[in-house]
Structure formats: C-alpha cells, structure tokens
Structure 1
Amino acid sequence: MRLRKKPWIKDEIITYDRWVVNEPNEYRGRWDEWFQNKAPIHLELGTGKGNFVVTLAEKHADCNFIGVEIKEEVLIAAVRKSVEKGLKNIAFLWFNINDIEDVFAKDEVSRIYLNFSDPWPKNRHAKRRLTHRGFLEKYKKILNKGGQIHLKTDNEPLFEFSLNEFSEQGFQLRNITFDLHNSRFEEAKKVMTEYEQRFVKQGLKIYRFEAVV
C-alpha cells in the first residue's frame, strides 16, 4: 500500500514524509500515535487539491484531519498547502477506499466528508459510488457512536440515490438541503472545495446532508 513515487515527485515526496503516510495500515487502531494526541479524527475521502480539508484543519486545531486521495499528483498539491501553512493536525493517505477497514479500526473515526464524489451515473456502476450501501457498511464499522458523514454534491441523481441508501442503512439524516448556498446552513457554506467554488460561481445548486450513525 505504499505511495507510488512517480519520477517527477520522488524528491519532493521525501520532503513531505511528515504529512504523507506511506504505510497507513501500520497505524490502524493507533492513529493517536501518528498525531501524538487523542483528538477526534475527521476523514475526507477524495480530497482533491485539498482546499476543503486544509481549511478545516486550519480552523479546528482541536481535531485531526486525514485527506484520502488516489491520484498522486493531486495528493501532492493538497500536501503543499499544508506544508505552506505549517499545519500539525493533518495527514494525507494514498490508498483505495475499498480497503478503508485495513487502515482504520472499529470506532476510530468521528466524521467522514464525501465531497463531490464521482456519481458513476450508469446503473451497472452503482456499487462504485462512495454512497452505495457496500461502502456505508464499511463506514459504519470505523465510525464511533454518534459519528457523522457530511455529503456535498452537484449531482441531483447521486444526491437522491444517497439519501435512499443512507436511510435504508439506518442512518439518521439531518440538515438536508437541495440548494446549500441559498439555505440557512451558514456554517456549511464557509468551507468549500475547489469544485464547489467553481460551481457556485456558475450558479449551480449544491446538495448537502448530514448522516449520523
């Protein structure tokens, strides 16, 4: 599960070992050792260039944040932001989300963010959606009691699919909005991903909800 070192990032990734965890499965059940504290762990699955998770880490020093991304060149862009800000409460992982139970133990995570995940629009690809019940069962195992999942998307079919999946899997849904940036949820508007910033400028609707275990 080691981070693949493309030639053009080989030297740079060595510099970033403080932020990039090359063997995350070795910390399963003991992420407090990596962060050297027992603060709540918040994950962003599919962190992109990192604007969302880095901003949250900067605002909330009382939590530990982990950004998960499968594209190395995008992951490095996110790490650079943390390096520039000198953040100590954030880490970045490269792994397939299907293997999430190999990286996090039961009840180890307090919150998961799913921001603008691939909608996989074809029905035959439904199992690949990060809100499919197969993934939700895995999330439920690593989330602690009262743990939350916060979802944002610009894709209405994925949003409706996700609402149904979460509901059928026993999650409590709350703070549902079909147009976040014209809603009363002021706090949720403050921290945006790069995609979200672009979509809002285009006048597109952002769908959002929170799910509680």
Structure 2
Amino acid sequence: MSFVDPNQFIITRKRKKYKFALFHNSPLCFEFDEWVPHQVDVVEIGAGNGMFIVELATRHPEQVFVAVDVKGDRLQKGAREAEARGLNNVFFVRARADQLGELFTPNSLNAIWLTFSDPFLRKRSAGRRLTHPHFLKTYAELLQPDGSLIIKHDNPDFFNWSLEQLVTEGWCLKELTFDLHESDLGEDYKILTAYEQRWLSEGRIINFVKAAHR
C-alpha cells in the first residue's frame, strides 16, 4: 500500500480528499479489492463512521469485526478511534452491500448488523433497501446456521416492511421490540450510533429485531 500524505489536503475545499488519505493510510482500512477473506465474526453493513462497531470490538476482544460502507471518508473516523484504542480485532472495508458475497465466506458469520440503513421510502426504490429479499438471501448464505441478522431503525414504515420481508423469506424473529431503549434487551444492542444519538435527541423511538434464518 503506497502512502498518501494527508497534509496536502488540509484546506477546507479539499477536506474530503484529506479524509480519504487518512482512510488509505490506516492499516485497518481496505478497499474492496484489497480485502482478503479471513475469519470474521461480526459485520456491520452501512456502518457510517464505524464508531458503533469500534465499541462492540472494544467490549468483545475475542471476536473479529468488520465495518462495511461505501464512503471511506466516513469510515476513517472509526479506524482512527480503533487505532487510538489499540484494537486489532476490527477492520474497515469500503464496499457496496451487493459485494458482500465476495468479501466473506459462506456460513462463516455469527452476526450481521444493519444500523439505520437508508429506508429508500419511494416504492420504486424498494430494491435498494438492505432488507429487500435479494439482500436477505445473501445474509442467509453468509451467516452460520445459528447466526443472527440484527436490525435497528427509527422509521416505523421501513421497519414494519422489513419485518414482513423477514417472515416471508423464512426468518424467525428471535427478539423484537418497538422501543429498544425502554426494553430489557442486552446492553450491546443499546450502543448508540451517531444517527441513533440524533434520533433519540429528537424524541424518536428505536425499533429493534434479531432474526435467524430457518
């Protein structure tokens, strides 16, 4: 991996290039074609800045985590925090959701997280939702037989639609709540993403489901 000097991108109008340089230079960050599949336990898709999975990795050093997002300039924030914490069990991959099958080995993952993914509320955009049946099929192929798909979301229309897809596609709903932070579910589930902090400050309620494929 060649080194990119981020100092050349300091000025404001080049701030995004500066962040991409930070992504490029981090030993924890990979472009899609740089990632070599190996043992991974937990994946977050659409990870944004990656801070959520950094906290999970901190709490569970015995597991290996990967944050996947299409925007490396966001992922670099989580990577820098992971480096600051001295973590060696979390990685950041810039890739699309439809490339997951090339990133991970079938029947290998313990859990896949979808945290506040874009709801694409227009009907014509339903195929882009990360809970659309074609994505659910990929998740089922990648998860271990007892693996879980875990979803957090603030939009009730998207969440209810996602529940319908899960049931229709043969998933079993193992844990479900329509108000996560007032529930007695596990503390790992309540780790806040950046979006989640915002939504809660606006008085929104967080929906949650943990599902397994039959």
TM-score normalised by structure 1 residue count: 0.87
Q: Please list, as runs of the form range in 1=range in 2, the aligned pairs for 1:83-122 lying within 5 A after superposition.
A: 83-122=83-122
Displacement of 1:11: 4.6
Unpaired segments ≥5 residues, structure 1: 33-39
Counting matched residue pairs gives: 199
Q: State the 1:188 CA deviation.
A: 4.6
Contact 2:46 2:115 in 1 (8 A): yes
Q: Secondary structure of the residue that 1:47 maps to in structure 2? A: coil
In the alignment, structure 1 residue 15 sits paired with structure 2 residue 25 = yes
The answer as to whether partners of 1:152 and 1:207 remain within 8 angstroms in 2 is yes
Distance in structure 2 (CA, Å) of the matches to 1:173 and 1:206: 17
Moved over 4 A (4+): 23-26
The CA deviation at 1:24 is 5.2
1:108-128 CA deviation, whole Å, 9 max, x = no partner? 211000000000001111010
In the other structure, the counterpart of 2:51 is 51
Is the CA contact (8 Å cut-off) linking 1:25 and 1:102 kept in structure 2?
no
Matches within 5 A, 1:172-211: 172-188=172-188, 190-211=190-211
d(CA) in 1 for partners of 2:21, 2:188: 37
Distance 1:55 1:175, change over 3 A: same
1:27 partnered with 2:39: no
- Counterpart CA distance in 1 for 2:51 and 2:68 is 13
Correspondence for 2:123: 123
Cα gap change, 1:9 to 1:181, in 2 (>3 Å):
closer
**Matched-pair contact (CA < 8 Å) for 2:107–2:141:** yes
1:106/1:134 Cα in 2 relative to 1: closer, same or farther (>3 Å)? Answer: same
Secondary structure of 1:204's counterpart equals coil
What is the SS of the residue equivalent to 2:100? helix
| Equivalent-residue separation in structure 2 for 1:10 and 1:210 (angstroms) | 33
